[in-house]
Amino acid sequence: MAPGGSFDLYTEFFGLSRRPFALTPDPAFVYWSKLHQLAFVMLEFGYLNRAPITLLTGEIGAGKSTLMHHLLNTVGQDMRVGLVSNAQGDRGELLHWVLMSLDLSPEPSESYVQLFARFQRFLIDEYAKGRRVLLVIDEAQNMSRDSLEELRMLTNINSGSDELVQLLLVGQPELRDMLRQPGLRQFAQRVAASVHLPAMDAEMTAAYLDHRVRVAGATREIFRPDAAALIHDSAGGVPRLINQLADLSMVYAYTNDSPAVTRKTVEQVIDDGMFFGAGLPAQDDAGPRVLQLRHPGKTDAE
């Protein structure tokens, strides 16, 4: 039995202290590739340089949440953070989500004007105490066009060089397409830092597999190079899918009494239909688009 009562079938067989590819996030296994390091630096750039809006996008399972939570763990006492997850609803409801994320429970009797005034007073009070406010909007691709416009209006409270509130939008790649629509041009012009996480390449995937098994206690190679290559191709370079296929492959290697995961092992998992991610559309293959920087308020034409 592993810590927490979960049953780890193959850990002792491979000489591991714990399961390396559990699907629940574990900070101990975070793999900081050069790509993720650069992406995090750009998130910090947006935060520290008081960018009005910072954008973080990537496919499901690409590591967005890991970067986001790592950033939130590093913010200082001078920042008040509100996290809004998967906000949906009609125009006007977003402000309710924002207030609740900052522990400012809205009253049912309050009008939108009253709620906006309360939010503005809160920002001014925090600024007077030497604190700024960071609003993190997760799963932002689910927001309506009206809600995005409402979000932009919240940044109008900022005045000149005084940034009372900053926004970090986290979402899937379609969020970038949404913000490029003509009707959201004013919103897009306020995006000062933009980070996109593409899929991992084959070399990165092999290093990722090796990193996780060694954190779990491995002292030898467990994933053969040809097995790592097939896992990369089958999972499309998406970390979450890589974890699923690698975990299943270790189970199969254990049941076959094989000391290593070979290409044949991975093929058997896929052929048996055990890997649900097989055949799912891979991430965009347009290459790494890790960052874009633009001075706040500048248009593309400028």
Residue 17: inside a domain: no
- Let me know if residue 3 belongs to a domain: no
Same domain, 137 and 234: no
Q: Do 76 and 135 belong together in one domain? A: yes
pTM of the model: 0.77
Examine the domain organization and report whether 247 and 267 are in the same domain: yes
Same domain, 72 and 206: no
Identify whether residues 66 and 192 lie together within a single domain: yes
Residue 7 lies in a domain: no
Question: Are 142 and 165 members of one domain?
Answer: yes
In a shared domain, residues 41 and 151: yes
Is the residue at 74 inside a domain? yes
**Shared domain check, 184 and 240:** no
Domain interval for residue 204: 200-281
Please indicate, yes or no, whether residues 254 and 188 belong to a single structural domain of this protein.
no
Ranges under pLDDT 50 in the chain: 1-6, 281-302
Q: Which residue from 70, 24, 22, 18 is spatially nearest to 47, judged by alpha carbons?
A: 70
Residues facing 170 on adjacent strands: 56
Please check whether residue 221 lies inside any domain of the structure.
yes
In a domain, 8, yes or no: no
- Asked, for residue 13, whether it belongs to a domain, the answer is no
* CATH label of the domain that carries residue 130: 3.40.50.300
Strands 132-138 and 191-197: unpaired
Same domain, 46 and 93: yes
Torsional class of 4: left (φ above 0), alpha (ψ -120 to 50), beta (otherwise): left
**Is the domain of 171 the same as that of 257?**
no
pLDDT tens digits, one per residue of 60-82: 878 888 888 888 888 888 889 99
In order, the DSSP letters of the chain are --GGG---SSTTTTT-SS-TT-SS--GGG----HHHHHHHHHHHHHHHTT-SEEEEEE-TTSSHHHHHHHHHHH--TTEEEEEEES--SSTTHHHHHHHHHTT-PPPTT--HHHHHHHHHHHHHHHHHTT-EEEEEEETGGGS-HHHHHHHHHHGGG-BTTB--EEEEEEE-THHHHHHTSGGGHHHHHTEEEEEEE----HHHHHHHHHHHHHHTT--S--B-HHHHHHHHHHHTT-HHHHHHHHHHHHHHHHHTT-SSB-HHHHHHHHHTT--TTTTPPPPP-S----EEE--TT--S--
- Tally of domains in the chain: 2
pLDDT the model gives residue 103: 93
Domain containing 249 — which CATH number? 1.10.8
Shared domain check, 208 and 75: no
299 found inside a domain:
no
